Structure 1
């Protein structure tokens, strides 16, 4: 797929991985639209970027999702790539009965899974009209194995992973629409600070890997430590009937 002259929407684009993807693709000659909940953070991000605009809104809220989709459909006729990057994560101690584990899980599942399905459905008609289009879902190394710190976050990303596989199968015969999945490991962002993100890879590494994968039509995009696990798991999962 071409890596220039696209019109790209990036959710969660005001910081971290999303911001680095916006930098990488805008510098390569793409028109980029970033989204985030906090308008001040969006404006700060825009100061670091060229050829980028912003749409403020919370994609985990249905009313905001519909407004964002409507604006994209009405005002950005050349939009051909959406990157579902916005996420939610909580340290969730399942042994603590006062932890509100279910509420944390609900927020993660709503943001990381349900909202992605709903927003993607709203954007599919536009994407299917383009000569070349892509849906890029940012999942996680956590889809391969959960742990005691992020059990419900991992579950929500595993759900996103399964959805992405199903979406890819659904449009397997459509030569114009490509479905990508990015598997970052621990990344050094504000988002991951409370789970030791300072020891993670720089977010620019994720952006670089995605850029290369897009140019190769490499639909599975493991990054960093995710590559080792992906090499083991993917050949096995490909043998499962689908």
Structure 2
């Protein structure tokens, strides 16, 4: 798919992977709109990147409806949706972990929000000559990390949804559905898990997203994720134990 001269919406675009992807896609000749609920951070990012922005909480159903109205009115040629916004809690399951409340927040952002926004934007995306939906999941989408247990659950759910959506839309639309599965990335959200020391820079994800869309690679593995997935398919128990070594 050609990924120049497109209008692109990126959720969670104020920092991290979203920011890097907005920068790269804008430099490649695309019109980019970044979305976040953090107005101050979003406005600063938009000024730095010289891109459009809309303040919206994608976990709020009414805010999503308002967002879609604005997009239809001002960006009617929108053809690429990148569901990137995410949240995760570093903790371990067990007595007193409060896993239900943590998982509610994680599922609202990491699963329900992209599912909702995608469904609302399908009519607009279907109008375009070619279009794409890009869901950013994680290497924990195919096996869990014990210190991100319910985040792993949410990303696994989004992975499954992405596969079903890809098959469904391929039957009667021109919309292509991509999934991005990064390994550890150095962002503000990963400081508690060693992102600053061991994480890849966000630009690596942005470059892989651009190349993956350009080459119609529907499952985009970033960093160590590709090898981790191959290891998991070959020997699941061994791969999961290695992935979680020293954490349980």
By the TM > 0.5 criterion, same fold? yes
Q: What residue is the counterpart of 1:240 in the other structure?
A: none
Segment drifting more, 225-234 vs 30-39: 225-234
Q: What residue is the counterpart of 1:69 in the other structure?
A: 68
Equivalences for residues 149-160 of structure 1 within 5 A: 149-160=147-158
Q: Which runs of 5+ in 2 are unaligned?
A: 236-248
More helix by share: 2
In 2: Cα distance, 1:145 partner to 1:215 partner: 28
Deviation at 1:149, TM superposition (A): 0.7
TM-score normalized by the length of structure 1: 0.92
TM-score normalized by the length of structure 2: 0.90
Equivalences for residues 112-131 of structure 1 within 5 A: 112-131=110-129
Q: Which runs of 5+ in 1 are unaligned?
A: 237-242
Deviation at 1:144, TM superposition (A): 1.6
Give SS of 1:94's match: coil
Deviation at 1:214, TM superposition (A): 1.1
Matched positions, count: 234
Give SS of 2:13's match: coil
Q: 1:109 aligns with which of 107, 110, 115?
A: 107
Calculate the aligned-residue CA RMSD, in Å.
1.6
Equivalences for residues 1-242 of structure 1 within 5 A: 1-50=1-50, 52-97=51-96, 99-174=97-172, 176-198=174-196, 199-231=198-230
In 1: Cα distance, 2:231 partner to 2:67 partner: 38
Deviation at 1:175, TM superposition (A): 5.8
Q: Which runs of 4+ in 1 moved over 6 A?
A: none
Give SS of 2:4's match: coil
